[in-house]
Structure 1
Amino acid sequence: MKKQVLATAAGLVLAGACANAGAVTLNPKGLGQVLLFPYYTVNKGQDTLLSVVNVSDVGKAVHVRFHEGYNGRVVMDFLVFLSPHDVWTAGVTTASDSATGGALLVSSDRSCTLPQIPAGGIAFSSVTYSGASASDGGPQTIERTREGHVQIITDGDIRPDSPTARIVEHVQTGAPGAGAPADCSQLDSASVVADLVAPANTLAGSAGIVNVDEGTYFPYNAEAISDFTHVPLLTSLSVVDADDLRSANSDSADGGVPATVFVDGKPLTFTYARGIDAVSALFMADSIYNEVLLTQSLNAATDWILTFPTKRFYVDPGLEPEAPALPFGEAFQAPGEAAARGMHYLYDAEELYVSDPCGQVCGTPIMLPPLNMPYEVTSVAFHRGEEAAPTVSPVFGSRLLRTLAPTYPGWQTGWARLDFAYDEQQSLPGGTANGGSRTLFGLPVTGFMAYNIVNTQAQPGRLANYSGLFRHRSTASCLPSGVAPAPDGSCF
């Protein structure tokens, strides 16, 4: 009997594994077909460094897109051709010394790109949001390109021994760092498309935000999505946005796109009719959690970066004619906002609830107004209650700013929680799991906390900066569709 039970259990595990094979997944191992970098910035004298690694034995064609932070409009995009075992690196800096100038992409990397990146770099463009035909209601200045996020999608692996593979391969001299393609100008658009096959989950990436003058560095790994596509995505170099996050697909007979999500600490596979909903499901969070450090004696400062990587596909009428669409409740409009809300709870390091001026003395905590996060990338700057709210975030100098402070006096360190299951407008319906219709509650979000400490007493006349960056922790909740959200609700 015992052997029968074990055999049955093993069979169920294998059946579940097979059923989930090919589902779009946020890969905790860091490898995938799609990379999401939650934040780039050139504010406050900072540069952002990017590194993309092909760990496989075949080449790759990847589409790099930089999205500005207000509404995710594309401000720079191009193709990078990674040869086997190749690394592509680049930096984002300011196009001028002006604090209101735009961003500039620079790269000395030898990997082939289309178009080629000149030695002086390529300036980011405002064309997708400026002018009467492109305006989305947000700012139209080039300054809008100074901060945002980056998405890299593998259009396909390059067929070995194909014309494209031979062109992008690095000719080696035997000296480390000296290999380079013979002539990237030979790349032919028609050949590139013909030479692509379905990509493997073998792309990795990282970024770092560096301020040379201040001596700060904030490194992080890109979010990796695996099994995003089972076919090459690039079918024509003239088709715009044929390979964006809406392109998630599967080979299922019904055309549905499965996504594996952790709910209540357990993996659960949902199937959606649209690829963009499957990607959003990966990032759905009813709450996020992270720490806050404002210790005055350390001159400490804390920013939270909240990136909603799929938001534009639900709030931008230029991309979604029926905007707004769930999980977002408002369309992007003048003066450049699409409201998303979250309840905030701040605690000190010894369990005191400091969002309430009574602490825990008065019994039931008071309900504060929700925090509005109106941008595709919103920076939350924390400050002590006795201080005036900053006009730019203290760590990154972000202007996509919202501020939070405790109403309880004397708070300097602790942690915070943001709850996104604010109402039924912030939910993602339309998924099926366990044989029924299911709804995930909250918002699709990623990002991190970053803090900086300034030590003015390192040595006489010497200044020292210490910095740290930590990914947000999150929880997801789900109920059968049509049922109101509940703390103990479950889709299992």
Structure 2
Amino acid sequence: MKKNVLALSIAAMIGGFAGAASAQTFPNTTMTAPTATDLVQSEGGAGHILVVPYFTSQNDNMSVFHVVNTDTVNGKALKVRFRGAANSDDILDFTVFLSPGDVWTGSVQGNEQGSYFLTNDKSCTLPDIRGQQVQFVTDRLMPNATAAQTKEGYIEILNMADITGASTDVYKATKHVNGVAPCTSSVLDATLNINPLDAASVTAAKTSGFETPSGKLTADWYILNVNQTTTFSGAATAIAATGGNGRGNFVLFPQDGLNTAASAANVASLTADPLLQQNIVKAVNFDFPDLSTPYLAATATPEAQASALTQAVANTGVSNQFALDTGINAKTDWVLSMPTRRYSVGADYTKDVTASDYRVFNAGVLGANSQPVFTSTNTYVAASGLICATTSSYTFWDREEQSKKNGAVISPSNLKGLDFCGEVNVLSFNDTGTSVLGATVGRTNVQVDYQNGWGAISYANALPVVGSSFIKLSNSGGLSNGFSGTYGITWPHRFAK
């Protein structure tokens, strides 16, 4: 990836991030050496990295997701991390072990304390959280954050390692027997002693049954509201490591709060997250890997990895449809999620929101134009503490390319100033009440003159935006006739590249 090498050289000259990018070589010794060279977005496909753009437990919603291991030979060790919608803070993470051909499911639901995670799946997790309501953690959220701060966000899923060899300890501990994985605690707890930066530790991990990750993961999600008989669904955004043998680095870090592997000396070589790099948030083992941890043979630094990942999903604009037809009580929300923004800019909650250094940048994360993706000129801080990204313009059309209001008016209507506040921004249409998704964390309302139509949002520099349009409608006679009268439609955004 020559463009990344050039881009990093430019970043080193212009400055703006925590020191020079630090290279990290992962020892593979007896494991299969990873030779994948590129990260490619595969919407709805299989990959090594999966992103669920949005989850919510607002307004009685339940968010459910299914992760499928389409590899029928090898098991998978996964890092699952939930990040908040405001500024992408870690609110829950754990390790999951999948059998070959396995499907793992879980849900996010709400209570008075915020969101909690629940899985009744038989696959192994570390720690063992099966059948438990695990409350999301608020330790890293902004001070005095309300429960709502954990009720919206997005999900990262990363293939840290493969599990191989029918006779190995890890394979036998995680392979389903009569529909249930043994989840041998002594074997899974032993992974807390693995250090993927140490050659001897990697060799021992190989003997126990681990291999470099080969991906082949898919995921699907749905948002269910039982009280309102409404469901939305979609596929996770998949990022595949391609080229060579299609394998990434072995990045199975211990799922604990120590820093045996994530020592202060290693942090800058393991993550592009500016808050972790500058020790504003103290890094521990469970912080790794994140999506910027070097994964390819071509990404020796976190900045190169984050740049490659950002460029894989970046676009210069999104377009989609909206429906506000009063005859069917139609309402629309657009989700605009930026799952790699955290590696370019984070919020320092020890500072006042008006302080110039509240935003902490890593200018080494670059777009395809070899320039930093997020800067002080294309972001600002809202009074709520959310970091906002600016856009250049947006345009909305009706379904006939024109509308009538006080006489004939030629469509479209052109407007400026629509910004994305929060890591996940929910754009509601002509709706100042409870919107389709009930969003409150990073919600923006836009007024359009048309009942139905489509719109396009453009930004001057490419941004890593993913998401969908969520349209809710109802048949007013449905309930009185004895059947459900509420329906949900989900359309993925179309992207301009």
Question: Which TM class, normalised by the smaller chain length?
Answer: 0.7 to 0.9
Match of 1:378 in 2: 425
Instruction: State the shift of 1:393 in Å.
Output: 2.3
Match of 2:28 in 1: none
Mapped to 1, the partners of 2:104 and 2:241 lie a distance apart of: 22
Match of 1:217 in 2: 231
1:324-473 matches, within 5 Å, as 325=363, 326-328=372-374, 329-330=378-379, 335-342=384-391, 343-352=393-402, 359-360=409-410, 368-383=415-430, 389-406=431-448, 408=449, 411-421=450-460, 441-458=461-478, 460=480, 462=482, 463-473=484-494
Structure 2 SS opposite 1:460: helix
Gaps of 5+ in 1: 1-19, 173-177, 258-271, 384-388, 422-440, 477-492
Instruction: State the shift of 1:458 in Å.
Output: 2.6
Structure 2 SS opposite 1:286: strand
Letter in 2 for 1:183: T
Mapped to 1, the partners of 2:403 and 2:477 lie a distance apart of: 33
Q: Residue 123 of structure 2 is aligned with which of 95, 111, 116?
A: 111
Match of 1:323 in 2: 361
Letter in 2 for 1:457: G
Instruction: State the shift of 1:85 in Å.
Output: 1.1
Q: Residue 297 of structure 2 is aligned with which of 251, 267, 270?
A: 251
Structure 1 range deviating more: 325-334 or 205-214: 325-334
Cα deviations across residues 5-56 of structure 1 (Å, max 9, x unaligned)? xxxxxxxxxxxxxxx9731100246101111000100011110111111111
Report the CA distance shift for 1:165/1:353 in structure 2 as closer, same or farther (over 3 A): farther
- TM-score, length-normalised on structure 2? 0.73
Query: Is 2:252 the partner of 1:234?
Result: yes
Report the CA distance shift for 1:356/1:162 in structure 2 as closer, same or farther (over 3 A): farther
Mapped to 2, the partners of 1:204 and 1:290 lie a distance apart of: 24
Q: Is this contact kept in 2: 1:27–1:224, CA < 8 A?
A: yes
Instruction: State the shift of 1:475 in Å.
Output: 0.9
Q: Is this contact kept in 2: 1:316–1:332, CA < 8 A?
A: no
Letter in 1 for 2:191: S
Query: Is 2:191 the partner of 1:189?
Result: yes
Structure 2 SS opposite 1:339: strand
Mapped to 2, the partners of 1:474 and 1:323 lie a distance apart of: 26
Q: Is this contact kept in 1: 2:173–2:181, CA < 8 A?
A: no
Report the CA distance shift for 1:279/1:354 in structure 2 as closer, same or farther (over 3 A): farther
Structure 1 range deviating more: 194-203 or 312-321: 312-321
Structure 2 SS opposite 1:415: strand
Q: Is this contact kept in 1: 2:395–2:413, CA < 8 A?
A: no
Letter in 2 for 1:401: R
1:71-110 matches, within 5 Å, as 71-94=87-110, 96=111, 98=112, 101-110=113-122
Mapped to 1, the partners of 2:89 and 2:286 lie a distance apart of: 13
Q: Is this contact kept in 1: 2:36–2:296, CA < 8 A?
A: no
Letter in 1 for 2:489: G
Letter in 1 for 2:306: I
Match of 2:48 in 1: 33
Gaps of 5+ in 2: 1-34, 196-204, 259-284, 350-356, 364-371
Report the CA distance shift for 1:89/1:458 in structure 2 as closer, same or farther (over 3 A): same
Mapped to 2, the partners of 1:318 and 1:274 lie a distance apart of: 23
Q: Which has the higher contact order (CA 8 A, sep 6+)?
A: 2
Instruction: State the shift of 1:461 in Å.
Output: 5.2
Mapped to 1, the partners of 2:183 and 2:373 lie a distance apart of: 48
- Identical residues among aligned pairs (%): 27
CA RMSD of aligned residues (A): 2.8
Q: Is this contact kept in 2: 1:308–1:377, CA < 8 A?
A: yes
Mapped to 2, the partners of 1:219 and 1:356 lie a distance apart of: 39
Structure 1 SS opposite 2:132: coil
Cα deviations across residues 164-202 of structure 1 (Å, max 9, x unaligned)? 111111112xxxxx4332634542125766142211131
Mapped to 2, the partners of 1:306 and 1:50 lie a distance apart of: 19
Report the CA distance shift for 1:273/1:316 in structure 2 as closer, same or farther (over 3 A): closer
Instruction: State the shift of 1:374 in Å.
Output: 1.1
